Amino acid sequence: MKRITTVLILLSVFFGSAQQQIYNLTFEDGTDGSNPAYWNVFESDTPAVEIVTNPDPDGVNTDAATKVLKLNVLTANACYAGAETQHAILGTWVLEAGVMSNESISMMVNKSTIGRIGVKFVNATNGTIFELTSQTNTVTDQWELLSWDISAFSASGENNNIDQLVLFSDFTCGDPDRTGPSVTYIDNISWGALKTGDPVLPTCSDGIKNGDEDGVDCGGSSCGPCETFPFDFETATPFVGADGASFSIVADGGNMVGEIQNSNAQAFSNVQIVTASLDFSGSPKGFSMRVRGDRATPVLFKVEQDGNFAVNFENSQSYTTPGQWQTLIFDFTGESSAGVLNKTVIFFDISGSPSAPTTLDTFQFDDIIFDELSTLSTSEFSTLQSKVFPNPSSDTWTVQSTKTIRTIELFDILGKRIRSFSPNSFETIISGDQLESGMYFVKIKGEKGSDTIRLIKK
């Protein structure tokens, strides 16, 4: 009896977490897949996904009030144009052999042109279960039901932890180039599968750029703002070392600077940071950065799209004054994107072998500025000559500067930002009413520089 009870309990646990389910994306408010922030397009020049009210109630979809998915494709967009759900927002599933509902996927489609429409399943490790792109719609500007036979793919070696749906709304790979744009509306995407996990929605602490975030766990409608230039390392700054390199903030006299160690541990060792998206439109722009090390070295400054390193722009300059600080200016003339590039990656001697002694692979860098080239070439990073009083204080501090104060950021002793505001004046007040006694840091930013001052709350 005890054995039977144990078996029943195990079966109950198994079927409670893994059971057959019909997935049906209706795009109605609050349902799975209905938030456009959880859909990605493949290229930055493709219009974003939209959820709209059915604009053409006819054919197999006559409900004028229902919500539908809208995919816009421009003439010059990639041949595989379409959209994909972010991983895990629909949960996870597998296809079971011999289960009829697992043998097909269907959707209602209303497309402005005749063309191929495709569908694809992807698993949590980006393995493709199937990619079907040969079917075309048969009418234009009218709803019809399309379906695909996926019965063979339960035998796929990638049929595990499926957690992403990909749609191709105007697939032209291998065909002549498009002659014009197209608009595709999609509704009631349906398939059956063995459910293995519940949906996992993005959060501001999952270490992934998802939802409508501008960077990893920052920006968008829910998370705190992303880091922005300039960087002077006087407070905690989330640069990280990658590909064998390490990063830390170290003291240089009375100044704090960034430091990379093991810059040649691997072929592409680097330091990097995800920031708010950068605007390269208008006058030519670039970056300036102070560098110091024990040997001369090329320094490659690269800015890319987080999660899509193929979209990038870079410039290389040479550090030539060992043992001394040297300001390098990286010319990004030719890059004109806005709101696309948001990840900075810096390489010191990108192709060199590890040095002996290893201290030769340690470099310090500071005062990284993003601005118009004409400004970078004529001015160095400057302080605001700010003063704060009284300090210590039991309630408020007055901040005064010789230049316009654009932003004030208050940090606790651990480097966590606890308050920020934009006074846009030469003088402002910081209230300490809600602060516990202890040490804090205030970062005072202007147009061309910043000061960081320690505050004491009595």
pLDDT at 216 (0 to 100): 67
Give dist(CA 52, CA 60) in Å, integer.
17
Of 359, 6, 13, 35, the closest CA to residue 220 belongs to 35
For the record, the structure tokens of 92 come out as 């996870």
Determine contact, residues 197/88, Cβ cutoff 8 Å: yes
pLDDT, mean of residues 41-53: 89
Considering the chain, what is the average pLDDT of its residues? 87
Residue located via tokens 């054995």 = 3
Residue located via tokens 């799975």 = 32
For the record, the structure tokens of 301 come out as 């400054």
* Range with lowest mean pLDDT among 75-89, 144-158, 196-210, 389-403: 196-210
Give dist(CA 91, CA 188) in Å, integer.
17
For the record, the structure tokens of 170 come out as 């105007």
The percent of residues above 90 in pLDDT, for the chain, comes to: 57
pLDDT above 60 for 91: yes
pLDDT at 408 (0 to 100): 87
pLDDT, mean of residues 51-70: 97
Query: pLDDT-based confidence at 377, cuts 50/70/90?
Result: low
pLDDT above 60 for 333: yes
pLDDT, mean of residues 387-416: 82
Give dist(CA 169, CA 190) in Å, integer.
17
The residue type found at 77 is N
Of 344, 332, 305, the closest CA to residue 43 belongs to 305
Domains and their CATH numbers in the chain: 18-197 (2.60.120.260), 240-376 (2.60.120.260), 387-457 (2.60.40.3080)
Give dist(CA 284, CA 372) in Å, integer.
6
* Range with lowest mean pLDDT among 93-107, 158-172, 296-310, 406-420: 406-420
pLDDT above 70 for 5: no
